[in-house]
Chain A
Amino acid sequence: MVSGLAALLCFGMGWAIVSTGWTGGASPAERMLKLFLSAGYGLGAFSTLFLVLRALGMVSVPAIDVLAFAVLLIGWRLSRRLVPGATVVPAPGHDHPGWLRGSLTAGFGAALAAALYCAVRRTIAYPNGEGWDVFAIWNLHARFLFRGGAGWREGFSALIPWSHPDYPLLLPGAIAHFWSDLGHETYVVPAIIGLVFTISTAGVLFSALMLLRGRNVAMLGGLALLATPSFIEQGTSQYADIPLSFFILATVVMLCQHDASLALSAPWAGWIALAGLAAGFAAWTKNEGLLFLCSLLFARFLMSAGGKRTGQAGETLAQPTSFTLLLLSALPILLIILWFKRFIAPPGDLFVYAATTFHKFSDLARYRAIAKWFGKQFFRFGHWLWVPGSLLVAGIFVAWRIWGPQHRGDVVATGPRTGFRVCVVALTITLCGYFVIYVITPYDVYWHLRFSLNRLFLQLWPSAIFLCFVEIGVAGGQGGGNRDVSK
């Protein structure tokens, strides 16, 4: 009973947040996208609320959750006065021949069934997660938050160095919030949260592609992610990499949604606000998320400067006000992170040996070794069988470019693409940031690469698939779904 109420309130908070920033109709694709986004935003809100209460010396109880939900609902009702009436009409997916569409549907259905089967079996088989990081970092921090009472801060001590006490607390906070509402610990909570993030990430990818580029492109994109064994394995192992990939993907999707609203000449700032909040939640999930947030803001700043210089009209995303909105919507979460890093957590382990950093920067052999690992992992990180998924996605992208319908002289949809470009630049900077971290790592670089690079690639993989297939849709002339406006 209580567990159901807590889950409902968590989802309800996410739904209220997403609905506040949302504009549009009630197509199946939109409903699906809202549903999956709400699950992740709800968990982010649950975690943040728990930490705020802990910081104020209060204990989380369902009554406070109900109050927070009511406040968010009021915010949603008030925001409806600002929403324009424009409705994004989902893109059609009609230009594939019937036999191909049938094969694609069957393939997607099989991959979905396989992914769900494996995810559920793994959740049952490893109810306490898989791998040392689960109990050495994530669930340990959740226990400190839940069991620690007023003394919860002691758990984030330098006395337990390998537990990475500087890691952000979205996942432990969400787990501790549920435990607090239930009044006891149960291994079911982290297991279910892992499963929810895994399913929601795939769901956001599929439904966003369906909305923006049609059902066929959505099935191609969904297939690429669902058939990535490591994605399912990591998602159910209760690490924070898949939750991070969810929030990075949500940011990217919201910025591309803003592009679509610009194409309607009905730009809606709510998409940017939701993107900023998702980027904030990414930063609250892992330190790599903080790098992504900084990369995103930098990329947006670059685009703003570029937009002003070239005097582009209509690309309102590149205006300084959009940059400010993105920053402002991430700011509440950013302030919590700064408070945590400044007053609770000891310094991170990557930056404690500053004296040797310069020497490492000037060691070319490190760059060569890391570049070699990056190249190798590009083909191996998904634990694919025989054919790397990265190669398959790259292959279909190139094939579409060479043989796609646009080469028959069909109309190729174009429109504002600033959000798309910002995302590509932000993800590229994030990837470069990962490279630099390996250059300066105080640990043995090969050991560090071996145990983390595949997970870092997975963090960006859903977003990379999304951007690839959004681009395919444009090149294939399927981007026209957002041209229709119903008022």
Chain B
Amino acid sequence: MPRNAGSFPARLAIAVLIFVLGCLLSSARLVLEAPRGHIPDDVARRSDLRFASLKAALPTEGVVGYVGSPRDSIGYYYLAQYALAPLVLDHSVNHPLIVGNFPSSAPQLPANLEVLRDFGNGVLLLAAKDQP
């Protein structure tokens, strides 16, 4: 087995120490910034709860429409999609059944839509007026 005889170069030893200390600075950041005590608000789980009643009233598969406030983030659409999967939400009102999602404002619905049921918290089940 080959061995490296002799002393370890002093300058290299200093470089190794600087490397270790430099790395430990960031380890300290990890510890200082680790979440503790307070558990942040979990939007995905809250969204699942928010859509639970609507989910029971919808078909188990297929495609339904979706409408939300144009002022809201697209993220609300994905939270709704996540909660209602495997149903596919098409961001369109051209479907017999439409999910209305207005988490932060009063619903402003297009004239051709009617509310079939209001589940509260800005969650609505809608239908096109000209559909049977």
**Contact pick for A132, options B18, B27, B35, B75, CB 8 Å:** B75
**A484:B1 contact, CB within 8 angstroms:** yes
Give every chain A residue within 8 A of B1 (Cβ-Cβ).
89, 92, 480-481, 483-484
Given A118-B31, A143-B85, A144-B85, A410 contacting B23 (CB threshold 8 A): no
**B26:A121 contact, CB within 8 angstroms:** no
> Contact string, A233-271, partner B, CB cutoff 8 A, digits 1/0?
000000000000000000000000000000000000000
**Contact pick for A122, options B3, B29, B34, B91, CB 8 Å:** B34
Q: Looking at B4, B12, B89, which has the most chain A CB atoms within 10 Å of its CB?
A: B4
**A385:B90 contact, CB within 8 angstroms:** no
**B29:A403 contact, CB within 8 angstroms:** no
Give every chain A residue within 8 A of B91 (Cβ-Cβ).
159
**A227:B15 contact, CB within 8 angstroms:** no
Give every chain B residue within 8 A of A114 (Cβ-Cβ).
27-28, 30-31
Q: Looking at A107, A115, A386, which has the most chain B CB atoms within 10 Å of its CB?
A: A107
Closest chain B residue to A143 by CB distance? B85
Complex CA gap A399/B12 in Å reads 6
> Taking the complex as formed, is A140 at the interface, i.e. its CB lies under 8 A from any CB of chain B?
yes
**A403:B61 contact, CB within 8 angstroms:** no
Give every chain A residue within 8 A of B61 (Cβ-Cβ).
148-149, 151, 154
> Taking the complex as formed, is A419 at the interface, i.e. its CB lies under 8 A from any CB of chain B?
no
**Contact pick for B7, options A97, A151, A392, A480, CB 8 Å:** A97
Stretch at the interface among A6-14, A123-131, A331-339, A441-449: A123-131
**A111:B24 contact, CB within 8 angstroms:** yes
> Taking the complex as formed, is B71 at the interface, i.e. its CB lies under 8 A from any CB of chain A?
no
**Contact pick for B26, options A125, A389, A408, CB 8 Å:** A389
Stretch at the interface among B40-48, B106-114, B117-125: B40-48
> Taking the complex as formed, is B56 at the interface, i.e. its CB lies under 8 A from any CB of chain A?
no
Closest chain B residue to A129 by CB distance? B44
**A140:B81 contact, CB within 8 angstroms:** yes
Of residues 399 to 424 in A, which have CB atoms within 8 Å of B's CB atoms?
Answer: 399-400, 403-405, 407-408, 410-411, 413
Closest chain B residue to A155 by CB distance? B86
> Taking the complex as formed, is A232 at the interface, i.e. its CB lies under 8 A from any CB of chain B?
yes
**Contact pick for B20, options A147, A223, A383, A410, CB 8 Å:** A223
Complex CA gap A126/B44 in Å reads 10
Of residues 87 to 131 in A, which have CB atoms within 8 Å of B's CB atoms?
Answer: 89, 92, 94-97, 100, 103-104, 107, 110-111, 114-115, 117-118, 121-122, 124-129
Complex CA gap A96/B6 in Å reads 10
**A382:B26 contact, CB within 8 angstroms:** yes
**Contact pick for A155, options B20, B34, B88, CB 8 Å:** B88
**A408:B6 contact, CB within 8 angstroms:** yes
**Contact pick for A224, options B9, B23, B62, B89, CB 8 Å:** B23
**B78:A163 contact, CB within 8 angstroms:** yes
Given A160-B81, A224-B23, A483-B1, A408 contacting B30 (CB threshold 8 A): no
B contact residues, range = 35 or more
Of residues 423 to 458 in A, which have CB atoms within 8 Å of B's CB atoms?
Answer: none
**B90:A97 contact, CB within 8 angstroms:** no
**B89:A160 contact, CB within 8 angstroms:** yes
> Contact string, A151-180, partner B, CB cutoff 8 A, digits 1/0?
110110101101100000000000000000
CB distance from A172 to the nearest CB of B (A): 11
**A121:B27 contact, CB within 8 angstroms:** no
Closest chain A residue to B29 by CB distance? A385
> Taking the complex as formed, is B74 at the interface, i.e. its CB lies under 8 A from any CB of chain A?
yes
Interchain residue pairs A-B with the least CB separation, the first 4: A399-B15, A125-B35, A227-B23, A107-B20
15 CB contacts below 8 A, A to B, read A107-B20, A117-B31, A122-B35, A125-B40, A126-B40, A126-B42, A128-B44, A128-B45, A187-B45, A383-B26, A384-B26, A399-B11, A403-B11, A408-B9, A477-B4
Q: Taking beta carbons and an 8 Å cutoff, which residues of B are in contact with A?
A: 1-9, 11-13, 15-31, 33-36, 39-40, 42, 44-45, 61-63, 74-75, 78-79, 81-82, 85-86, 88-91
Q: Taking beta carbons and an 8 Å cutoff, which residues of A are in contact with B?
A: 89, 92, 94-97, 100, 103-104, 107, 110-111, 114-115, 117-118, 121-122, 124-129, 132, 134-136, 139-140, 143-144, 147-149, 151-152, 154-155, 157, 159-160, 162-163, 187, 220, 223-224, 226-229, 232, 382-387, 389, 392, 395-396, 399-400, 403-405, 407-408, 410-411, 413, 476-478, 480-481, 483-484
